[in-house]
Structures are given as structure tokens and as C-alpha cells.
Amino acid sequence: MSSDSSHRLFQLKLDPLTGNSEWVVIEDNDDLPDCPKEPLLATTSYLDMLNDSCRNKAFRSAIERTVTKPCHVLDIGAGTGLLSMMAARAMGLNGTVTACESYLPMAKLMRKVLHRNRMGKAISLINKRSDELEVGVDIPSRADVLVSEILDSELLGEGLIPTLQHAYDKLLVENPLTVPFRAVTYGQLVESTYLWKLHDLSGIEPKVSDGIHLVPADSDSIIHVKSRQYPMHCDAIREEIKPLSEPFEIFEFDFWKRPESNGETKVQVKAIDDGNIHAIVSWWVLQLDREGTVFYSTAPRWINSPANIGYRDWCDHWKQCVWFFRGKGMSVSRGEEVLLEATHTETSVSYNLNVQVPKTDTRQHDHNIRDFQLLLSPERIAIYGDSKWRSSVLAAVRNAGRVNPLCVVVDDSIFLTLVAANLSKTSHVLSLFPGLREKGAQYLETVVKANGFSMDRVEVPEKRKPCLTLHDTRGKKVDMLIGEPYYYANEGMLPWQNLRFWKDRTLLDPVLSEDALIMPCKGILKACAMSLPDLWSSRCCLGDVEGFDHSIVNTTLGACGELPVPKEGPFLPFSIWQCGEIKELSEIFTVLEFDFSKPISSCHGTAQVKFTEGGICHGFVLWVDWIMDTDNSIVISTGPEHRYWKQGVKLLSKPVAVGINGCSSNIEYGSTIVEALFEPSSSELILKHAFL
């Protein structure tokens, strides 16, 4: 059953080549097609969760141990209805199950799953937020059992605490049963140069010494990451992490009682080695049943977990979390004790460190924070601190031979803005900052003096415009148009969606001088055939999930493998180095080129490549190499070996065995032909392939 009220969802859709957004309306009475043109929910974590067999088995076991007789079960954040169906089955379809799912596309998909599994009459589906439910209106009575999985990598980020509070106040009987029963968060203090580079630009930049000061000495906190926990596959950097403490317990959250909104704890942590504490790596362990026999853990593999908490397979929906301590990190010696102060709100956890000097005194590890701060992603900070990247960009601008009289920085690059103004004392730099906007202008005002120029040589338009006119440039033609390209807050997108630079360059064509220098001058779409068994397993088509048919969700969730012809899985952005087991099977090859000296247009390319290694090919990994100069000598690559960028992944409809021709009789394919078409009108890249 489902509620009869009509619902409407407004979903924001972004055009990556223009930066413009539009609202798409999804009506409740519009049936969700079995094979939609686009996989509507491909970028969500639903598919990865449903492919996590350890999670599914743990919830099934705990529900069967908890729901042992007919009762009223409430499932909050029901998704496809898997936990609801488990509960209904555990009661022999004799009790009452209420499934609450607020996201309309998922609620529509859940209806199909329930119908496919003949559970439509056993489960009441309500398309509302749980805090909108009313007993006697939406549900017949308070529920005896709560089953729910509204957890993120940090545990609290999906609103676990306020959801439980409302449920205990309004929706549950006194002393209800719950699945899960309890969660405990753990942490470990670590030293890691890699993690340090992700947040301490003020400590890294002085080592570069190239004359550009993104973080002047008197403004060391002007650029930094947001103070929050960052989900990360820490096993991928195990060799770059030095543990400085044993694992320790931080918070315990009981699902079986009403939680508090805020909490604080102090943990005395003893250093097990000498080093600098750059970060805390945290994870959680879920106890799903009251008896304490069913567990699930997100701990990294180097942690020795108890025998009853097994290691899970690689999955992307729950990672470890990393909290960066400001600056170069607190220096500790083996045996020294530090005091970790942890605080949680309704939706997040934060940390602070103090070192015990004597017992009566502490040195607090903190920094004064200036009024203005530019918050950037950890990857962006690491890029700005990378000496090779900086020297390449500087060389490209210097080799251009001129930065005058008018230079336009078309993207959100504060580095290029400072470089352009620094290298020529007569140039005027117009930085569009389409994402940073006034934040970019405030930042420049703070750092111009340290970089040897004044704001009368740099201009940031007050309002965003689709294109510039000669009125905006004061009658002057643009001599130099540059970008990295980098667009603020768009770092999770597919790499070729930064071809927004090409679109912007095209819109500016009327104000470009005849010999205007465009940088980068072109982009090259690169690819490599790869074995990606862990990523494939997390994204493959669903069939039976703990006894329930989920095959109907595959197209909508963007699954790969066994899709209806001619459907294929979508391109998805991933940092390949964090995708578990990976192996390159071919040489890196060029698929097509984008010529930025001309206005944007459709591009087509074909390449035939031989496999250089034997193995199972799961798909192609693609990225863009930006050619910064006309001599093709300066290249900024965003490929898998560069860990600060995401690549685009196209998983095959079916994995295939490949190898070097003639090396083995059981090798199926020795080469492949790849054909690509980029269509700017739809911002889409279409990839076709044939194995030979």
C-alpha cells in the first residue's frame, strides 16, 4: 500500500558546461519508467549499499533475531524496502510494517520492488519525512520495533540523532526494540605526509619558493579546509600512515534509547611512537542485535578486529573518516600522553588536541582564526601546494611571452590570477571567478600586497554574466584568456565537464583579439583499459538480495552488467587509486582532442589499442590532459597516477578476459577499438568499444 496524497519533487539539474541550473519536476503520479533515459539515481549510494553483502547479511540476521512475533515495525529511510521486506518475512507477513521514504524517486522505485516481490499489501509505504508522520493519521499506532539504516561514514551526517529523537517522542512505544542496537566510534592518531599536504598550505608553500604567496606569512589561516571529518579509503594510503597511538573508543550511541543532541568526551591517549600528529582516522562498529552477536565495522584493514567482527569487502558507501589537525601537527614522543577532546552535535563530530605538560597545565593545539577565510577542498589545497604543478603553470604563463595589456582568468583559479598579475607589471587582470565570486575578490584584497601589486590592476566583476562585452572590458580586446581549468565546488564531476572552459572561451570570442593566447590551448581525452574487480562488484547489477528480487532497480541506479540492450551503465567519477584492487591492462591511449583555439564544437575520435597485460577487463578509465602551451611541452595530467583529481569510469556491460595476442590459448581478446563522441549541446560523452 502507499499513501494516496499527491507529491511533487523539485530536483536541481546542473548543466556542467554552463554552470547553470534548472529545476526538474517529478510528479508522484508519473510512473517511474522501467528503463529511464538517464539513470536517475546513479550518483547515489543505494547500489553500492545493496551490493554490500556483509551489510545485508548483518541486517537480515539481526532483524530475524529481533522481530520474532507479529508486531508493528517502522522502517525509517526505507530505500528500496529491503529492511521492510526482511521484517515482514520474519513475521510471516502477519504483522504491520510501515516504510517511510521521503525521497520521491526512491519511493516510486520502492513501490516497484514491493510489487515485484509481492509485498505491496504487507508493507505500507509513506512518502514523507519521518518527522512529518502522525500516529492516527499516517500510521495506525506507535511502532514496537524500529529498523533503520540512516548512517553515513561519520555515522551522524544523515540526521541519525534528530530522527531517533522524534521517533522516540512521537512514533515508538516505550522501550521499543531497535535494529541496529548500538554504535561505537573509534579513532587512531596518525602521522602522514600525504594527509598533511591535504590541509596545511601555509606550511607547504614556503618550501616551494616561486614568488607566489597564496598564504602570506601574516595570513596563515586565510586558506584552509573546512573543519569537518572527510570520508576516505584509508587502506589505500596504509603505507603512508604511521600510527602514533593504539585505537581508542570515542563515543557510544545507543539506538535503544532517546539520544542526546550534544555530547563531549575527553580521552587520554598515549603515544606509541615519535612523530607529528597530523590527523585522526576514525571509524565505527555497529552492534545490530541486543544480544551482541551481529556486528558490522568500517575499520581499516590494519586494525585487528575481534573474531566476531569480520572484514568487509571493499565498498564505497561507508569509508573511514579523517579529521585534520591544523598546521604542521602536534609533535609527540613515545610514551607521552595527549588529551583528545571530542564533541558531537546532532549531525557531526569534531576534535581538539591538548598535550599534557604537567597535569596542572596544558598546551592547546589551535590557531587564531582571521575574520575572512577561503575554504577549499583538501585536494585543491594539495594541488596549490604541489611544486611540480605550480612550476608547470608558471612556466606556461612565462613562456607565453606576454601578460598584457588585458588578461582574463575565466575560471576560479586564484593561483593563475596572482601569477598573471605578478609576471607583468603593466597588465590588467580580469578574474571572472564564476564560483568564488565575492569570496575571490575578498581573498585578493587580502593577499595582493604580499604578492607585489595592488587591486587597481585586478578586477572581479560584481555580477556573474553569461559573457563579457567590450563595455565590460572598457573597449579593450582580450589578449590572453587562461584557466587551469578549475571550477569551485565542481571537483566531484566527470573530468571532461571542465570543458566548461571551452564553452566560456566560446562565449568570449567576440571580445578576443585576433592573436589572443588561449591557455590551455587544447585538451586530450586519455583512456586506459583496466581491471577493477572491487569497483565492479560494488556497481554490478542486482538480482537476489537476501531472498528479494531487486533486478528492477538496476537501470535507475546506474548498474553495470546484464542490462537490457542497448542500455549501458553511465560514466561515474571516481578517484581510481581509492577503488580497491586495480590493474592497468593496456597502454594509455588518446581517444580524442579538444582544440580551444576554435569555438566549441562536436568532437569525434577513434583509437585501437593492444592489451599489454592479461587479466579481466572491467571497463575504461578516462581523464583529460590539459596542454598548456602551443609547443605541447607543458602538460597538466589528471590521470590515475595523480591522486588529487577524479577520473571518469565506464564499466563494461560484461567483464571480458584479455591479454597479449598469442600468449595463451584461453585469452579471448588481444586489442580493442574505442570510439568517442563529445556533444556540447548535451554535455555528454558517448563511448563505444569493440574487443578484437
Query: Which residue do the cell numbers 572552459 mark?
Result: 501
Domain with CATH 3.40.50.150 in the chain: 45-149, 386-519
Do 510 and 611 contact (CB within 8 A), yes or no? no
In angstroms, the CA 411 to CA 483 distance is 6
Range from 133-142, 260-269, 330-339, 655-664 carrying the lowest mean pLDDT: 655-664
Flag whether pLDDT at 106 surpasses 70: yes
Q: What is the three-state SS of 252-311?
A: EEECCCCCCCCEEEEEEEECCCCEEECEEEEEEEEECCCCCCCEEECCCCCCCCCCCCCC
Range 522-691 classified under CATH 3.40.50.2000: no
What are 415-456's pLDDT values in tens digits? 999 999 988 888 899 999 999 999 999 999 999 999 999 999
pTM listed for this prediction: 0.92
pLDDT at residue number 52: 97
Q: What is the three-state SS of 519-582?
A: ECCEEEEEEEEEECHHHHHHHECCCEECCEECHHHCCCCCCECCCCCCCCCCCEEECHHHCCCC
Flag whether pLDDT at 38 surpasses 50: yes
pLDDT at residue number 668: 72
pLDDT at residue number 293: 96
Mean pLDDT confidence for 565-587: 90
The CATH architecture to which 45-149 belongs is 3-Layer(aba) Sandwich (3.40)
Do 110 and 80 contact (CB within 8 A), yes or no? yes
Flag whether pLDDT at 4 surpasses 50: no
pLDDT at residue number 364: 45
pLDDT at residue number 462: 84
In angstroms, the CA 191 to CA 280 distance is 9
Q: From 642, 621, 590, 599, select the one nearest 501 (Cα to Cα).
A: 599
CATH fold of the domain at 183-355: Hnrnp arginine n-methyltransferase1 (2.70.160)
- Catalytic site residue 149? yes
Flag whether pLDDT at 149 surpasses 50: yes
Flag whether pLDDT at 361 surpasses 50: no
pLDDT at residue number 220: 85
Residue 121's pLDDT band, with cuts at 50, 70 and 90, is very high
Flag whether pLDDT at 521 surpasses 70: yes
pLDDT at residue number 215: 96
- Catalytic site residue 613? no
What are 391-413's pLDDT values in tens digits? 999 999 988 866 568 999 999 99
pLDDT at residue number 23: 52
pLDDT at residue number 104: 93
Q: Which of 149, 154, 191, 459 is catalytic?
A: 149
pLDDT at residue number 5: 42
pLDDT at residue number 30: 52
pLDDT at residue number 351: 97
Flag whether pLDDT at 151 surpasses 90: yes
Mean pLDDT confidence for 155-169: 97
Residue 28's pLDDT band, with cuts at 50, 70 and 90, is low
pLDDT at residue number 369: 41
Range from 252-261, 378-387, 590-599, 650-659 carrying the lowest mean pLDDT: 650-659
Non-local CB neighbours of 202 within 8 Å, separated by 6+ positions: 215, 220, 221, 223, 224, 327
Range from 229-243, 467-481, 596-610 carrying the lowest mean pLDDT: 467-481
Q: Which of 132, 134, 158, 668 is catalytic?
A: 158
CATH fold of the domain at 386-519: Rossmann fold (3.40.50)
454 burial type by CB count under 10 A (0-12 exposed, 13-18 middle, 19+ buried): exposed
Range from 240-244, 354-358, 384-388 carrying the lowest mean pLDDT: 354-358
Domain with CATH 2.70.160.11 in the chain: 183-355, 522-691
pLDDT at residue number 306: 79
**Average pLDDT along the chain:** 90
Cell of 496: 571532461
pLDDT at residue number 661: 58
What are 249-262's pLDDT values in tens digits? 999 999 999 999 99
What are 68-98's pLDDT values in tens digits? 999 999 999 999 999 999 999 999 999 999 9
pLDDT at residue number 9: 53
